[in-house]
Structure 1
Amino acid sequence: MEFLQIAWGYKEMLLLGAVTTALISGISILLGMPLGLVFAFGLVSQNGLVRRFCAVYRSFWRGTPLLVQILLIFYLLPSVGLDLSPVAAAVLALTLNTSAFQAEIFRGGLTALPKGQIEAAQMLGISPTDIRRRIVIPQLMRLVTPAIVNEFISILKNSSIISVISVTELLRTGQQIVSATYRPLEVYGLIAMVYILMNLVIAQFGHRAEKRLARGARV
């Protein structure tokens, strides 16, 4: 009974927190996607310098805790004259983090693509840019869609860490409700259910997108 009363009494706060979490996570994924794609091509580049630079970038953002990355961006950039709001700092940190993970996802997809089509396109004189845009990327996106959906879910869950820089997302909203109700078990249980519901929605959209892309590949 107490659980339902909290859910109904603070529904506006919970909805706003969930929307904030979804928006920050979604924007970060979308911004990180082209960046990750660029670094994926860099990771398979024949230029050794480009390949090493992309590997270092990937290793740093995948090998350090997200909390450390968020705090570095939030406190480091103002020290060099770049003042960002907590939301902007959170989006930047999540974008750079997910771009590294997406770069590895795309790199794996690139190595799995059949080479015959690319070699045939090269023999026909199609430019490298057109080969990537018309042949490689469409097939790559169909191949990596499940992994990208999993990355979206991971970023959505990890976005709870941005509460440490005072972004009022879902977890921080829960903390505020706990301060008002002194019912941590019920509140955090409710927050967990909201996260599960959001992840189920993402998984369902991802499943539909995968099926649609698969149908497009057969046409």
Structure 2
Amino acid sequence: MNFSFDVIWHNLPYMLAAARWTLLISVGGMAISLVWGVFLCAARISRGPFLSRIAALYISFFRGVPLLVQLLIFYYMLPHVGLDLPAVAAAILAVGMCSAAYTAEILRGALQTIPRGQTEAALALGIPTLSLWRRILVPQAIRIGLPSLTNELILLVKVSSLASVVGIGELTRISQNITGETYRPLEIYVAAAAIYFLINVILSALGRLAENRLLVG
């Protein structure tokens, strides 16, 4: 059986449409990850032992349990606590909550490179703690940790394929469906791999562009 580009060309529109769900899960998860990761990072390095231990436990749990298991827990648990979310929303939430554990550690490492004198000077000037984090610490931590944050987003694009287990028609799920209809797995999975690769190349380029602009700024 010869490799057929016609099979790819015929099914490419369906696969590109499915890739939108892949991007939505990845970017939506990363947005949650950044916001929640900042709070986790702040709790992790806080002087309060209770907050620090809770954050450390959260990070250990979400880094230690496979994302697939977490996704299934979120999908089946949320209705039991009164949150009947669509599968896509549950997947975005699960991905974001998991990624936040890694983002928190990325930001914590970045914060350790910021001279402590900046924090001491800000507090001496009477700058509130919230403003200190919002205007001084978090922007610098994101700039320092941007390469790692970009890698985290790329990783989310790849792990978004796990969302297929809860019936979301993202790229991997649709590729499996098309393969079942066409019996042409090689062409379809090669096309899927090319789409994933293209998405990640674009994200990497955007990450480098952001890094360069921040360095110039």
| Interval containing the TM-score (normalised by the shorter chain) | over 0.9
Q: Please name the residue that 1:72 is paired with.
A: 73
d(CA) in 1 for partners of 2:19, 2:210: 23
Kindly provide the CA deviation profile for residues 115-171 of structure 1, in whole angstroms up to 9, marking residues without a partner as x: 111112222222222222221122111101101000000011000011010000000
d(CA) in 2 for partners of 1:27, 1:34: 11
Q: 5+ unaligned residues in a row in structure 2: which ranges? A: none
Letter in 2 for 1:126: I
Deviation at 1:94, TM superposition (A): 0.5
Say how many residue pairs are matched.
Answer: 216
Which runs of at least 4 in structure 1 moved beyond 3 Å after TM superposition?
none
Q: Please name the residue that 1:51 is paired with.
A: 52
Q: Please name the residue that 1:27 is paired with.
A: 28
d(CA) in 2 for partners of 1:192, 1:179: 17
Confirm or deny: 8 A CA contact 1:67 1:161 kept in the other structure. yes
Q: Please name the residue that 2:38 is paired with.
A: 37
Q: Please name the residue that 2:177 is paired with.
A: 176
d(CA) in 1 for partners of 2:37, 2:74: 19
d(CA) in 2 for partners of 1:130, 1:82: 33
Q: 5+ unaligned residues in a row in structure 1: which ranges? A: none
Scaled by the length of structure 2, the TM-score of the pair is 0.96
Confirm or deny: 8 A CA contact 2:32 2:93 kept in the other structure. no
d(CA) in 2 for partners of 1:131, 1:46: 16
When the two chains are superposed, the root-mean-square deviation of aligned CA atoms in Å is: 1.2
Scaled by the length of structure 1, the TM-score of the pair is 0.95
Confirm or deny: 8 A CA contact 2:5 2:187 kept in the other structure. no
Q: Please name the residue that 1:86 is paired with.
A: 87
d(CA) in 1 for partners of 2:7, 2:188: 7
1:112-151 equivalences in 2 (<5 Å): 112-151=113-152
d(CA) in 2 for partners of 1:130, 1:141: 16
Confirm or deny: 8 A CA contact 1:43 1:55 kept in the other structure. yes
